[in-house]
Structure 1
Amino acid sequence: MKKNTIDIITLGCSKNLVDSEKLMKQLEANGYKVTHDSDHPQGEIAVINTCGFIGDAKEESINMILEFCQAKEEGRLKKLFVMGCLSERYLQELTGEIPQVDKFYGKFNWNDLLNDLGKSYHSEFAIERHLTTPSHYAYLKISEGCDRKCSYCAIPIITGRHVSRPMEEILDEVRLLVSQGVKEFQVIAQELTYYGVDLYKKQMLPELIEKMAEIPGVEWIRLHYAYPAAFPEDLFRVMREHDNVCKYMDIALQHISDNMLQKMRRHVSKAETYRLIERFREEVPGIHLRTTLMVGHPGETEEDFEELKEFVRKARFDRMGAFAYSEEEGTYSAQNYSDDIPEEVKHRRLDELMAVQQEISADLTHAKIGKEFKVIIDRKEGDYFIGRTEFDSPEVDPEVLIKDEGQNLVIGSFYQVKVYDADDFDLYATLI
C-alpha cells in the first residue's frame, strides 16, 4: 500500500472520464500521486467513478465497489470513496447497503472529496485536468444534463436539467489543451444540439464549433451525441467549410417507426428522420454517420422491428450500435408502460439488427480499399502502428493498421496512407 497514492477507477462513458481527469488534477495539486484504471491498484485511497445508465453498467459499478470493499477489509486499502452517476442516483440506498465505503458523492459534488481529505480545491486549475487519453487527443465536455424526456432514459433523472458551459471557458480550455500538445477534440455532452439554449437563448453549437475550428493547432474536431429533433442546420455549413471539423456525426436515432418514436417520446417523425439523413449527405459530402438504435422498447411490434431493419438497410450507416431495452426505475416508460417483450425476443431482435449492419459495415469498409486517407497514429501494437481516419472516433470505431517496416512513425502525428486490405472492421494500409 503506497502512502499518498490514490487510485482512480472510471466506469461508464467519456463524460465520466472528464470528471475523473479534473479530480486527478486537483489531487495532484494537493500533493498526491494519482494512478488511473491501474491493473494493480496500490494506493492507500481508491476513488471509483461509477456509471448508472443501464442495468449492465450498474452491475459493473456495484461489482467494482464490492471488489474494493474486500481489499479494504483485507487491509490492502485505507479509504474508499465512490462518486459518479450511480451514487448520484442511489445515494441513500448505497450508503445504507455498503457501509465499507467511507463516503459516497454524487456526480456534481466530487470536489467535496478534497475537503474530506483535509485538502482544498484549487480554482486556478478549474479548466485543467490530468489527461488519461494519449496526449494528442482529449474529450471536451461542453454541457451537463439533458432537458429531453425520452421515455426509456434515466439520464435526466441522474444529471438534471441541461446546463451549458460558457463559450469563452470552453475556448480557453481548448487553447490550453492545444498548448499541451492536444490536436484532436472529441466534443461530448449528454445532448450536443441543445448547447447554448440556457445561456444564450438559442442553439449555439455551430458557433462554438466554428470558433474552435479557428484556433491554431486544432487539427480535428469530432462531434458526439446529437439529437435529431430541431437539429441546428448551420452546423452543415460549418462542417463543410472547415477542414478540421471531421465529417463525422454521432446522432442517436433510437428507432424509425412512427409508432415507436411516439412511444419513446422522441419528438421527431419517420419522415423527418429520413430527411435529416438525406440533408447530412447532401450538405456534407462524404460524411460518416454513427447512430444508436434500440430494440424491445415496450409496445414494439414485429412490424415496427421489420421497419427498423428496413431503415438500417436503406440508411446504410457507417457506424451503428444497438441495445435492448432495459427498464429503468423512475423513467416515463417504467411508470407508464409494462416491459412486455420477453428477453429472448429482445435479444433475437438485437442479433438480427446487428447482423444486417455487419454486412453493411463490411461493404463500406471494403469500399475503402485502394483509397488514400489522412490518419493519426494512436499507438504501436506488436508489428503494427495503429491509427484512425477522421471518420473514426477512439475506442468505438474501426482502426487503420500499418505494418512496422522501420518507418519510425511518431505517435500523435498525421500521415497519408493508402488502404490495401480490410477485414469486417479494420483497414490495412501502407504509408504513401
Structure 2
Amino acid sequence: MIKNQIDIITMGCSKNLVDSELLMKQFEANGYTCRHDAKRPQGEIAVINTCGFIETAKEESINTILEFVNRKNEGQLNRLYVMGCLSQRYKDELEKEIPEVDKFYGKFNFKQLLTDLGKADVPSCDGRRHLTTPHHYAYIKIAEGCDRHCAYCAIPLITGRHRSRPMEEILQEVEELVSQGVKEFQIIEQELTYYGKDLDGRLHISELISRMAKITGVKWIRLHYAYPNQFPLDLLDVIRDNDNVCKYLDIALQHISDNVLSRMRRHVTKEETIALIERMRRQVPGIHIRTTLLVGFPGETEEDFQELMDFVRWARFERMGAFAYSHEEGTYSALHYEDDVPEEVKQRRLDELMALQQTISEEIEAEKVGKTLKVIIDRKEGDYYVGRTEFCSPEVDPEVLISAEEGKLRVGNFYNLEITGSDEFDLYGSVKR
C-alpha cells in the first residue's frame, strides 16, 4: 500500500472518463499521486467511478466495488470511495448494502471528496484534466444530461436535463489541450446535436465544430452520439468542408420499424431515417456512419426484426453495435410495457444482426485494400505499430497494423499508408515512402 497514492477506476463511457480526469487533476494539485485503471492497484485510497446505464454495466460496477471492499477488508486499502452514475441513482440503497464503502458520491458532487479528505478545490485546476488517453488525443464533453426521454433509457433519470457548456469555455479547453500536444478530439455528450438548445433555444453544434476546426493545431475532430430527430443538416456541410473534421458520425438509430420506433418514443419514422441516411451519404461522400441498434424491445415482432435486418442490408453501416433490451427501473418502458420478448429470442436476434454486420464490415474494410489512407499511430504492440484512420474512433473501431520491421514510427504522428490487407477486425498497411 503506497501512502498518498489514489487509484482511480473508471467504468462505462468516455463521459465518465472525463470526470475521472478532472478529479485526478485536483488530487494531484493537492499532493496526491494518481494511477488510473492500474492492473495492480497499490494506493491507500481507491475511487471507483461507476456506470449505471444498463443491467450488465450495473453488475460490473457492483462487482468492482465488492472486489475493492475485499481489498479493504484484507488491509490492502485504507479508504474506498464510489462516485458516478450508479451511485447517483442508487446512493441510499448502496449505502445500506455496502457499508464498507467510506462514502458514496453522485455524478456531479464528486469534488466534495476533496473536502472530505481535508483538501480544497484548487481554482487554477478547474476545468483542467490529467489525461489518461495517449498524449495525442482527448475526449471533449460539451454537455451533460438529455431531454429526449426515450422509453428504454435511464440516462435522463441519472443526469437530469440537458445542460450545454459555454462555447467559449469549450474552445479554450481545446486550445489548451493543443498547447499540450493533443491533435485529435473526440466530441462527446449524451445527445450531441442538441448542443446549445438550452442556452438560447437554437442548435449550435455546427457553429461550435466550425470554430473548433479553425483552431491551429487541431488535426482531427470526430463526432459522437448524434440523434436523428431534428438533425441539424448544416452540420453535414461542416463535416464535408473542413479537412480536419473526420468524415465520421456516430448516430444511434436503435430501430427502423415504425411500430418499434413509436413504442420507443424516438419521435422519428422509418421514412425520415432513410431520408437522413441518404442525405448524409450524398452530402458527405465517403462518410463512415456508426450506429447502435436495440433488439427485443417490448412488442418487437419477428416482422419488425426482419424489417431491421433488411434495413441494415440496405444501409451498410461502416460501424455498428447492438444490444438486447433489458427493463431499466423507472424508465417509461419498464413502467408501461411488459418485457414480452423471451431472452432466447432476444439473443438469437442479436446474434443474427451482428453476424450480418460482420459480413458487411468485412466487405467494407476489404474495399480499402490498395488505397492510401492517412493514419495516426496510437501505440506499439509486439511486432506491430497500431494506428487508426479518420474513420476509426479509439477503443471501438478497427485499427491499422504496420509491421515494426518497416522502421521506427512515432506514436502520435500521422503517416500515409498503403492498405495492403484486411481481416475480420483490422487493416494492414505499409508506410508510403
TM exceeding 0.5: yes
Post-superposition Cα deviations, 1:120-163, rounded to whole Å, max 9, x if no partner, equal 11122112100000000000000000000100000000000000
- SS of the counterpart of 2:261? helix
Which amino acid letter does the alignment assign opposite residue 320 of structure 2?
M
- Distance verdict in 2 for CA 1:426–1:406, change over 3 Å: closer
Q: Could you say which residue in structure 2 is the equivalent of 1:272? A: 272
Instruction: State the match for 2:99 in structure 1.
Output: 99
The aligned counterpart of 1:349 is: 349
Q: Does 1:411 align with 2:411?
A: yes
2:393 & 2:20 partners in 1: Cα distance? 20
SS of equivalent residue, structure 2 residue 80: strand
**SS across alignment from 1:139:** strand
Match of 1:339 in 2: 339
Identical aligned residues as a percent: 69
User: What residue is the counterpart of 2:122 in the other structure?
Assistant: 122
What do residues 344-392 of structure 1 show as CA deviations (whole Å, max 9, x unaligned)? 0000000000111111001001111100100000000111110000000
Mapped partners of 2:321, 2:236: distance in 1 = 23
Distance in 2, Cα, partners of 1:311 & 1:145: 30
2:285 is the alignment partner of 1:285: yes
CA distance in 2, matches of 1:390, 1:200: 32
Q: What's the counterpart of residue 87 of structure 1?
A: 87
Write out per-residue CA displacement over residues 175-198 of structure 1, whole angstroms, 9 at most, x where no aligned residue. 000000000000000110110001
Distance, in Å, in 2 between the alignment partners of 1:404 and 1:99 is: 51
The one-letter code of the counterpart of 1:44 is E
Alignment pair present for 1:324 and 2:340: no
Q: Which runs of 5+ in 2 are unaligned?
A: none
- Aligned residue number for residue 14 of structure 1: 14
Give me the whole-angstrom Cα distance separating, in 1, the residues matched to 2:201 and 2:331.
27
1:98-123 Cα deviation digits (max 9, x unpaired): 00000000000000000000001112
- Supply the distance in 2 between the matched residues of 1:424 and 1:406 (Cα, whole angstroms): 23
| Structure 1 segments unaligned to the other structure (5+ residues) | none
2:70 is aligned to: 70
Q: What SS does the corresponding residue of 1:298 show, helix, strand or coil? A: coil
Between the aligned partners of 1:235 and 1:361, the Cα distance in structure 2 is 26
Looking at structure 2, the residues matched to 202 and 124 of structure 1 have their Cα atoms a distance apart, in angstroms, of: 32
Aligned to 1:380, what secondary structure does the other structure show? strand
CA RMSD, 1 decimal: 0.5
Does 1:257 find its partner at 2:257?
A: yes
Number of matched pairs:
432
Distance 2:212 2:55 in 1: 36
Amino acid at match of 2:100: Q
Deviation readout 1:297-347 (Å, 9 max, x if unpaired): 000000000000000000000000000001000000000000011100000
Q: 1:212 — aligned with what? A: 212
Letter in 1 for 2:171: L
Structure 1 Cα separation of the partners of residues 200 and 393 of structure 2: 29
Misfit runs of 4+, over 3 Å: none
Q: Which residue of 1 aligns with 2:225?
A: 225
Cα distance in 2 for partners of 1:29, 1:284 equals 44
- SS of the aligned residue for 1:128 comes to coil
> Which secondary structure state, in structure 2, belongs to the residue aligned with residue 169 of structure 1?
helix
Shift in Å, 1:425: 1.7
Q: Which residue of 2 aligns with 1:393?
A: 393
Match of 2:172 in 1: 172
Deviation at 1:406, TM superposition (A): 4.7
Q: Could you say what secondary structure the match of 2:45 adopts?
A: strand
Which letter maps to 1:420? T
Distance 1:406 1:358, change over 3 A: closer
Letter in structure 2 aligned against 1:397: D
1:200 deviates by 2.5
What code does the residue aligned with 1:188 have?
Answer: I
Q: Distance in 2 between matches of 1:29 and 1:201?
A: 38
The normalised TM-score by structure 2 is: 0.99
State the AA in 2 paired with 1:361. Answer: S
Shift of 1:72: 0.6
Partner of 1:40: 40
Q: 2: CA distance between counterparts of 1:391 and 1:281?
A: 14
Match for residue 311 of structure 1? 311
Displacement of 1:25:
0.2
The amino acid that maps onto 1:122 is: V
2:294 is aligned to 294
Q: Indicate the SS of the match to 2:405.
A: coil
Partner of 1:359: 359
* Partner in structure 1 of residue 31 of structure 2: 31
Aligned-partner Cα distance in 2 for 1:404–1:36: 28
Offset, 1:251: 0.1
Residue 423 of structure 1 pairs with residue 429 of structure 2: no
1:234 paired residue number:
234
Letter in 1 for 2:234: D
SS of the residue 1:221 aligns to:
strand
In structure 1, C-alpha distance between the alignment counterparts of 2:105 and 2:427, rounded to whole Å:
43
**2:23, 2:68 → 1: CA distance?**
19
Q: Secondary structure at the match of 2:4?
A: strand
Q: Whole-Å Cα distance in 2 between the matches of residues 118 and 159 of structure 1?
A: 28
User: What TM-score comes out, normalization by structure 1 length?
Assistant: 1.00
Query: Secondary structure in 2 aligned to 1:405?
Result: helix
Query: Take 2:404 and 2:48, find their aligned partners in 1: how far apart are those partners?
Result: 38
